[in-house]
Structure 1
């Protein structure tokens, strides 16, 4: 994206193993570093180091994967965890269904913003500097939220694809050029 530096900060995925249920007690013992305390939380917390990603694993055969900074890293972390699950005796017959829930990216627009002026110019914004230093910009297309800061930096949340991230950066750039 010319003019806007974009960096993925976090990808959140849901992962479903069809027809699979996990014995969490047994699985927690077989995964190095897994944390499982059913009185506190009904799933296993597990962190993979290479590539870095964190998982919440539930008895239903579903997981959440967070913390990956690229789709390739996320897919690799899921593949490696799937192999560990198989080695621990879990019968997995097919590839898991993976769905993007949220992509968070940081933006650097390369210039400072007058947030008061932006807030007055657009209805789909919220700016209360005594509560939060950023301006909340709600986009309809793509359906995302972009936090803008005086520094010219921003954070985009709610994207469902890399294309949404690019569209959000472009939409903000175009909107701000209009005013």
Structure 2
């Protein structure tokens, strides 16, 4: 009988201990969890922290660059000097067959997993992957000349043992443009103020790299005031990117 009462006492004591432990772990009355619980109904399958933490839709993305307060001078205009495009052959290709069938072709599997095809009129360089994707890089040519160069590469591949190859899904992927702002720039001060966007390591690279999300592009800024813009597909977007970066560089001119 004594043993039975002892078990009962231990059971009651353990229940009291559990209640006290749960009471200690409960959040205080001023916790935002209580406010969220009282103000919103729990949805099955949803996390209880959803009503406490801000949602992604309620948080506005930070704008990289403010609206320009200085107009872009008329003599400061971007000039495209490299354009890149991509298209698909809609078939797999044998890189060795292409390299043996074309003259101005280079294939070194130890160095690169693609075939390099060079055109001389107009000057262009193409990288042909075994899966059938082709990237073409040209200089300061028009969009029409770029597309014509890509079609010439497709014809050469057809003649080099792949008559089933097609020219499809052509897209302009990148424009690299340059512009001269007309004044030198203090790159160290610019990098200090815009540390979220700028990378400047003069021991490794003498220029400053500035990246933005809107527009999504990269700037390479030199101390002499030259700017190179890459990552955009239209010249109108390049001009808008230059219009936004000009006031920032103007604030640090020497």
For 1:1-179, list aligned pairs within 5 A: 2-18=74-90, 20-70=91-141, 71-92=143-164, 94-123=166-195, 124-177=197-250
**TM-score, L = length of structure 2:** 0.62
Spell out, residue by residue over 1:134-178, the C-alpha distance to the aligned partner (whole angstroms, 9 max, x if none).
Answer: 122212221111111121101112223322211211111133456
**TM-score, L = length of structure 1:** 0.84
2-structure distance, mates of 1:60, 1:5: 39
Residue 74 of structure 1, CA deviation = 1.9
- Secondary structure of the structure 2 residue equivalent to 1:41: coil
Residue 55 of structure 1, CA deviation = 1.0
2-structure distance, mates of 1:64, 1:55: 5
**Greater helix share, structure number:** 2
- Secondary structure of the structure 2 residue equivalent to 1:42: coil
Structure 1 portions without partners, runs of 5+: none
How big is the alpha-carbon RMSD for the aligned residues of Structure 1 and Structure 2?
2.4
- Secondary structure of the structure 1 residue equivalent to 2:107: coil
Choose between structure 1 and 2 for higher RCO, CA contacts under 8 A separated by at least 6 residues: 1
Count of residues in Structure 1 that have an aligned counterpart in Structure 2: 178
Is residue 185–residue 249 contact of structure 2 (8 Å, CA) maintained in 1? Answer: no
2-structure distance, mates of 1:23, 1:144: 35
**Greater strand share, structure number:** 1
2-structure distance, mates of 1:66, 1:163: 20
Residue 94 of structure 1, CA deviation = 4.8
Bigger-Rg structure (1/2): 2
1:109 to 1:91, Cα distance in 2 relative to 1, 3 A: same
Is residue 139–residue 168 contact of structure 1 (8 Å, CA) maintained in 2? Answer: no
